[in-house]
Structure 1
Amino acid sequence: MTVSVPPRPREVMTALVSPEGRRDPYPLYDALRAHGGLVPVKPGLMAAVGYAECSRALREPRLLVQDAASHDALYPNWRSHSSLRGFTNSVLYTNPPDHSRMRRLMSAAFTPRRVAGLEPAIVRMTDRLLDRMARLGGDGAPVDFMAEFAYRLPVAVIGAMLGVPDDDRIWFRTAVEHVTVALEGVSRASDLAPADRAMDELAAYFTALVGRRRRRPADDLISALVQAHDNDGERFTEDELVGNLVLLLAAGFDTTTHLLGQGLQLAFAHPEWAARLPHDPHLAAGYVEETLRIAPPVHATSRIAGTEVDLLGTRVPAGTKVLVLLAAGNRDPRRFPEPHRFDPARPDVQPLSFGAGAHFCLGAPLARLEARLALPRLLARFPGLAPAGTPTLRDRLVVPGHDELPVTVGRPPAAGDGLGDQRNSRYR
């Protein structure tokens, strides 16, 4: 009798960061989970791959995000990179009490009432972009869904909230594409050169915009944050103000962009659900939650044990880095029966895709709202929407997704045409 031995965790992690592993990480997540929900990889590194373990790690206050102090210990030269400095001045890489102080200020922008009040504007923006897609693809020409819709809608929404003029939003996509490389983790310093340039450009832009709003306030988030800073300088430093504005821009549309892209990819792979989505008003929420579960826009985050922690019965020594693989937790068979099956009718989903605990994503309700409104309207407007070639995937581990997703808007999908024939374990 032959007994199958799962590959060692360290081998799996090496495969996970390879180009092949980044293209389809789900079999590797399963291989890690064969060793348990919280897996020692090597001294000083553990990986949380079970749903319960990921959820607990995100909520454990003794597990800290990588802040300036931990960067000093791990990457002595990190301060020479403006991309790392910028994000470390934001809530993303800050621990209490500074994190609590900044988050209180920023959370006022994402109250349930404020987010719900954006629905009419999101519908108008969606319909304008669908009109644009109809014009671009009216003669049967392929249209890149990512460039013409999935990017433009969330950047318009977060741009309107921040108070960014329409004409200034065109160059944001490239800048954010570069600056978010800094969120993938430091490997080689040379990899951060484009991220540093993008952070410098974004910081200069927001510094100038803050100056204009200081002289002439408007009804937008930047004006509100400037007022909070100026009324009490201890509430926001100037660097924190700019760092959080860059974060709000980057997180405000990068993750939503790829949520929309994954939602459409899944519609092509599962036409039975796509056909129902425009006509069943109760399905949209479940469709978005299942998309977030099975193909989340963010796959991983990390924590560092400030002291020794017992995490659901496993000892995590002080100083240990815990890689929290959200996408692996979302497919834990202990939590989700048939975890690789896409089922928008699945009950009690609660994906981990936007994190949990003190660092739960402030923009999660807005991203969900945009996807719930946009995807049904997209499929209702273009019932013949179909793939128009092979999509191009981002070469990322933390925030994967599509660089390009070409579609045609005017013809019905033909048998054997498109992404339904290109399924891998991402879309099973």
Structure 2
Amino acid sequence: MPAPDQQLTEPVMGPAEALSELFTPAGKHHPYPLYDALWELGPVIPLGPSGTLVLGYDEVCTALRDPRFLVTDAAVHQATGMIDHSSWQCFTKIMMFSNPPDHERMRRFSRWAYSPGQVAEQRQLAVKAAERWTAHLADLDDGGPLDLVEAFATRVPVAVTGELLGIPEADQMELRTAITATTTAFEPIFDRAELLPADAGMDVLVGYLEDLVRERRRRPGDDLVSAMVRDRDADGALSEEELVSSLVMFLIAGVQSPSDLIGNTVRLALEHPAEGHGMTTDDDLVSAFITETLRFDPPNHVLTRAAETDIDFYGHRVVAGSRALLVLAAANRDPRRFTAPATFDITRKDIRPLSFGLGPHYCLGAAFARMQVEVAVPILLRRFPRMALAGAPTYRDQLVTRGFARMDVTLGP
């Protein structure tokens, strides 16, 4: 039976307190009561001349489609001084943080790597990785708790994306810490020192992939890096820095979101055992379960946009140059759009969660991320039908890209 997530949905404070709490460690770990409290102020909340908070489903959709709401590109980060940091020097050279015309140029270059045909070909890599790491879990099992994040949820996307890029297995897990560190740059930064971990992680990834690009240029293989180097050298569509940055983002996106989504999906499967068991035998149920997970507890909570000009937005004035924080996770629980939004219910129809964005910046890697989860979670649950949570999972200190730091489980007899 569908059941509400009571711990995460009971309002605990007023909207002013909720807003001040949202980006604290406690708020990042349990944001849903804060979103509920903020709804008392409406779907669009002015934060003064510097920003606007957008919670409503229709309102977020509008902002994501409106070309006047720009992504925070190099020009925006130049104005704030963030471009001085290596993390944002790299991020502003990818399509995710580029506006027209650069965005279209970069998207055309990379689109083939995320095509349905490519994702279908990569499915067997995911099967191989999931089967390997479920076997590894069985080898580790001594009857006590195991951290599923470290031993499985992380391992599968690292193996799949690493093999796709041609990264030797010996190097793959060493890059994992750097990948997670870079995603801290997406959080609101109140002190430049908060970017140091992201910068250090980015330096590792950029240095590694620069070396890999040089190696594949000398000795091409049948991996994605070789193919993108070949295409770039043939038509010059990207600069060398843009090529490396695009590969960095492919690695980050190919690992972080799938890893977090695997963790969220497994947690919900263990809390809803009838539906979780159904995923082991019914492919349609797998798809519905993951779609509802993306609505109910997604790995990506917030996107930021910058107003190109003054915008009259649902009766509120968004000032040119100010930021709009689009809270995807709150929009996915908009009570005007979803019946009983705090209830996890895989029977919902036509729900269309916004967890991978919308419009021209819709995540090209969404199908790749979903595919990994659709493969990995049923294989895991079939192998360990009596798996159970061994305590409450703990979260990383992040909200924009939110996921478990640790999730202890017992595998069962």
* TM-score, structure 1 normalization: 0.90
Within a 5 Å distance, the mapping from 1:227-266 to structure 2 comes to: 227-233=230-236, 235-266=237-268
Q: Is the 8 A contact 2:356 2:362 kept in 1?
A: yes
User: Partner of 2:7 in structure 1?
Assistant: none
The Cα offsets for residues 379-415 of structure 1, whole Å up to 9 and x where unpaired, read as 111111112234221111111111111112133xxxx
* 1:218 paired to 2:221: yes
The Cα offsets for residues 198-223 of structure 1, whole Å up to 9 and x where unpaired, read as 11111111010000111111122211
The alpha-carbon deviation at position 320 of structure 1 amounts to 2.3
- Of stretches 282-291 and 317-326 in structure 1, the one that deviates more from structure 2 is 317-326
Moved over 6 A (4+): none
Distance in 2, matches of 1:346 and 1:88, equals 37
* 1:199 paired to 2:205: no
The alpha-carbon deviation at position 313 of structure 1 amounts to 4.9
- Of stretches 352-361 and 265-274 in structure 1, the one that deviates more from structure 2 is 265-274
User: Partner of 1:57 in structure 2?
Assistant: 63
Q: Is the 8 A contact 1:228 1:236 kept in 2?
A: no
Q: Is the 8 A contact 1:90 1:247 kept in 2?
A: yes
Q: Is the 8 A contact 1:182 1:192 kept in 2?
A: yes
**Secondary structure at 2:343's aligned position in 1?**
coil
Within a 5 Å distance, the mapping from 1:29-44 to structure 2 comes to: 29-44=35-50
* 1:161 paired to 2:167: no
Distance in 2, matches of 1:91 and 1:182, equals 16
* 1:152 paired to 2:158: no
Corresponding letter in the other structure for 1:103: R
Corresponding letter in the other structure for 2:65: R
Distance in 1, matches of 2:83 and 2:52, equals 26
The alpha-carbon deviation at position 172 of structure 1 amounts to 1.5
User: Partner of 2:95 in structure 1?
Assistant: 91
User: Partner of 1:326 in structure 2?
Assistant: 328
Distance in 1, matches of 2:109 and 2:197, equals 30
The Cα offsets for residues 88-147 of structure 1, whole Å up to 9 and x where unpaired, read as 11112111111111111111101011111222221122111111111111x313221111
Q: Is the 8 A contact 2:15 2:34 kept in 1?
A: no
The alpha-carbon deviation at position 8 of structure 1 amounts to 4.8
The alpha-carbon deviation at position 278 of structure 1 amounts to 1.2
Distance in 2, matches of 1:40 and 1:7, equals 16
Distance in 2, matches of 1:306 and 1:390, equals 43
1:181 to 176, 179, 184: 184
1:409 to 403, 408, 411: 411
Distance in 2, matches of 1:231 and 1:365, equals 28
- Of stretches 277-286 and 254-263 in structure 1, the one that deviates more from structure 2 is 277-286
Q: Is the 8 A contact 1:19 1:395 kept in 2?
A: yes
Distance in 1, matches of 2:292 and 2:243, equals 35
User: Partner of 1:298 in structure 2?
Assistant: 300
**Secondary structure at 2:353's aligned position in 1?**
coil
User: Partner of 1:316 in structure 2?
Assistant: 318
Distance in 2, matches of 1:336 and 1:266, equals 19
**Secondary structure at 1:407's aligned position in 2?**
strand
User: Partner of 1:421 in structure 2?
Assistant: none
User: Partner of 2:276 in structure 1?
Assistant: 274
The Cα offsets for residues 259-287 of structure 1, whole Å up to 9 and x where unpaired, read as 00001111122222223221223200000
Q: Is the 8 A contact 2:57 2:331 kept in 1?
A: yes
The Cα offsets for residues 42-67 of structure 1, whole Å up to 9 and x where unpaired, read as 22211110111111111111100111
Identity %: 45
- Which consecutive residues of structure 2, in runs of 5 or more, have no partner in the other structure? 1-10
From the superposition, tell whether residues 136 and 410 of structure 1 become closer, same or farther in structure 2 (CA, over 3 Å).
Answer: same
**Secondary structure at 1:322's aligned position in 2?**
strand
The Cα offsets for residues 19-46 of structure 1, whole Å up to 9 and x where unpaired, read as 2211111111122222222211222211
Corresponding letter in the other structure for 1:348: D
User: Partner of 1:394 in structure 2?
Assistant: 396
Corresponding letter in the other structure for 1:151: T
Distance in 2, matches of 1:63 and 1:71, equals 15
Within a 5 Å distance, the mapping from 1:336-355 to structure 2 comes to: 336-355=338-357
User: Partner of 2:8 in structure 1?
Assistant: none
User: Partner of 1:22 in structure 2?
Assistant: 28
2:72 to 35, 45, 66: 66
User: Partner of 2:113 in structure 1?
Assistant: 109
User: Partner of 1:118 in structure 2?
Assistant: 122
User: Partner of 2:133 in structure 1?
Assistant: 129
Distance in 2, matches of 1:391 and 1:308, equals 43
Corresponding letter in the other structure for 2:31: P
Distance in 2, matches of 1:406 and 1:271, equals 17
User: Partner of 1:426 in structure 2?
Assistant: none
Distance in 1, matches of 2:194 and 2:309, equals 32
Distance in 2, matches of 1:344 and 1:24, equals 22
Q: Is the 8 A contact 1:300 1:397 kept in 2?
A: yes
